[in-house]
Amino acid sequence: MWTPRSWWSVLRDAEQSDPWSVQESDLDIEPGAVASVLGLANGFVGVRGVLDELDPDDEPATLVAPVFEEHEQTYAEGGYAYPEVEERMVPVVDAWRLGWSVDGVPVDVRRGTVHEHRRVLDVRHGVLDRELRWTAPSGATVSLTSRRLVSLVRREVVATWWQVRAEDDVTVTVRPAPGCAHAGDGPAPDTQSAPGPQAPGLVTTWCRHDAQGSSVRQRAARSGRAVAVETAHLVECSDGVAATWDDAPRAAALTARLRAGDRVRVLVLAAYAGGEDTAALPARAHEALAVAGRAGWDELQREQRGFLAEVWERGDVVVEGDDEMQQAVRHALFSVVQAAARVDGVGIRAKGMTGTGYHGHAFWDSECFVLPVLDQVLPTAAADHLRWRHQKLPYARDRAAELGLPGASFPWRTISGRESSGYWPAGTAAYHVNADVACAAARHAAVTGDETFERDVAVELVVETARLWAGRGHHTDEGFRIDGVTGPDEYTAVVDDNTYTNLMARSNLRFADALCERHPCEAARLGVTADERAAWVRAATRMVVPYNERLGVTEQSRDFTRHAPWHFEPRSTARFPLDDHVPYVELYRHQVVKQADLVLALHTASDAFSPEQKLRDFDYYEPMTVRDSSLSAPAQAVVAAEVGYVDLAYDYARECALLDLCDLRASTDGGLHVASLAGAWTALVAGLGGLRHGDEGVLHLAPRLPGRLRRLAFTVRHGDARVTVDVRGQVVTYRLAAGDEALLTHHGEKLLLTAAAPEERRHVPPGVARPAPAQPPGRAPLFAAP
């Protein structure tokens, strides 16, 4: 069984430790966490890292982003504007898969004798390799080698190369798509003609297998979302080996009789097209397959290597002094890229197409945690995700109108763009998602300098969400208040003046005014008036930020610091996650924090707080933050580093990077935690590196090394400029990697960096002298540095 740390201990103790790969050296036949860790994806299609052989009880391992089913929401007591439908992503046919048999017995590690078995995920080149040496019950031994690739360049394409080498005389049989639910050629029975409502689920409506390839059509019974798959089989054999196809209607198979030393190789190219336009899908899949076939296997691999070479040039983080972390942070960044590379029209999902956890939904995680990394490493993917949000504005406007509000209200969780959360206190009430989307769009435009994106996408996103805030809040003698909302901390729901929400809304309102100033034609098209802009500015200027003068700390929400403290001493109150053991009504009335909320505001609205205030606030909230969400550690890492708790920051960075490799939360079987993995990069670059983007194109950097590390090196961009930062002990070297010049600061000291020469600084201010605050009992950072 999979247990936390077992995966990583196997990797760590391996004789050959490669910082660019993740190796499974112990055979694990359960399709759990290891299937997520070894998964391949591109944001549109994903293939979990399952074994090639199929267990009849296993569900398919392939996910296609637009393919989901609709399930009725059930409520003990319903209410107005409750979503009626929940969307759930459904696995589709593994058309890339082959079923191999030796002397009539399926190749299967659960039977016969396994002599050698090894799988390696190569994150530098984006492939999953497998080697198996196996003896069938007949006594014949074969070696099976495979390489799986999900193209990061061609969003529909999955390619798998297989080879079987015989060590004895054997008969090898290969069956395409062995898990296809409808085994016969031609159309499946008409499931739509049955009377009454259709049961939710995926139905195979067409299936064909022959020597040329396979064609499969599937459709979700209720949502109507469909997938069309086309495959091609290319077969090569050793000289003298005859391979013949049996195109029996229900049992298409390739048979080859091999002598000892003979080989048979099969390349399967598969193209997946999914969406609403079911009539157009087969042609799209056929075209994608034809283009991939003309390119060929070698070209697909070259494309993959070239794509990732650019990613690693822009985004690799070098960590010296901690081999475990070096390996983990590269796997983390690779996983983020896999979640986002081809998301045009579908958006980034919380599990990144590596599992059906959270039912395949997209959340605010993408804008707040993933996009800041993509802005640096893969900006086209960040833009594609934000264009997807822009495409869903009609749904968001309808939802705002349903809630009685102006502008647009984006869903808490969704696939199609409609709200899919049935729990409104931590769903609809979490209005901050709207500012998260808007500020992400404005930030992307600022970091990349993409004026076309700013005009065509960002302006409308920030204007419609600014309108929401203007209608959602109200003015009092105290200022502009936003009441009845839920912030990032889901243990404190439906509160007044959540600081994170208010400060993000303030940024949203200011961005709207500034972008309308820069793009008056777009503002006019959207009907923005001078009075409306003045109202935005007034609301932003008067935004309330609750503060406890007696304690000298910023309140997470109005009167939060006056709630009863949570007592962790009794065992019954220190069992985690708390919401599995304590009713929400108790959590809501106490000072206990599920995930960074006020501390997240210290990072995302950094300019709103002085350094001294940040330190006081971090010290206050750290002992009550239980991190029952994987979204907490990234923000805690960044702020801990900024206030001077550098070693604690590094411990949180390790937790982010190792979360899935070690299955620290025993939930990786549902897919990778993409936001936390992105947080590993952010913890190192924005945390230990101190990266902040200032006004007028200035890069602010304040690097510090924790005691564990000898070196930290990374690359950052702003506009056309790219700067490499190399920290070795007390020496920091800045080099201009691209662009004419870069304006930056080193711990507040202004520098003008040019291509003429690097800039070196030999002074790194120390962290704070006092010890870091303690976490709640039992909630110290997971997998902290030894």
Closest to 205 (Cα-Cα) out of 175, 231, 178, 225:
225
Q: What are phi and psi of 549, to 5 degrees?
A: -65, -35
Distance of CA 177 to the CA centre of its chain: 28
Separation CA 35–CA 351 (nearest Å) = 13
Q: Residue 706 burial by CB count (10 A; 0-12/13-18/19+): exposed, middle or buried?
A: buried
Please give the structure tokens belonging to residue 406: 């102006």
The letter for the amino acid at 614 is K
Task: Tell me the sheet residues that pair with 753.
Answer: 742
Q: Tokens representing 483?
A: 């009441």
CB-based contacts of 692, cutoff 8 Å, min separation 6: 606, 686, 699, 700, 701
- Residues 227 and 285: their CA atoms lie apart, in Å, by 9
Cβ-Cβ contacts under 8 Å for 190 (sequence gap 6 or more): none
Contact 4, 663 (CB under 8 A): yes
Contact 213, 176 (CB under 8 A): yes
Catalytic (active site) residue 454: no
Long-range contacts of 733-741 (CB under 8 A, 24+ apart): 733/758, 733/759, 733/760, 734/701, 734/758, 734/759, 734/760, 734/761
Where are the strands (E) in 338-481, listed by range?
474-475, 480-481
Q: Phi then psi for 407, rounded to 5 degrees?
A: 75, -140
Phi and psi based region of residue 451 (left: phi greater than 0; alpha: psi -120 to 50; beta: remaining):
alpha
| Rounded Cα gap, residues 241 and 234, in angstroms | 15
Residues 275/68, Cβ–Cβ less than 8 Å: no
Indicate which residue of 419, 490, 532, 642 is catalytic.
490
3 state DSSP class of 55: coil
| C-alpha distances out from residue 53 to 106, 164, 301, 519, 660, Å | 8, 14, 24, 57, 24
Q: How many Cβ atoms from other residues are within 10 Å of residue 15's Cβ? A: 5
Contacts of 654 (CB under 8 A, 6+ apart): 322, 325, 328, 781, 783, 784, 785
Q: Could you give the 3-state DSSP secondary structure of residue 54? A: coil
Axis crossing angle, helix 379-391 with helix 323-340, rounded to the nearest 10: 40
What CA–CA distances, in Å, run from 531 to 476, 528, 537, 563?
19, 8, 10, 40
Start-to-end CA span in the chain (Å): 26
Q: Which residues are catalytic?
A: 490
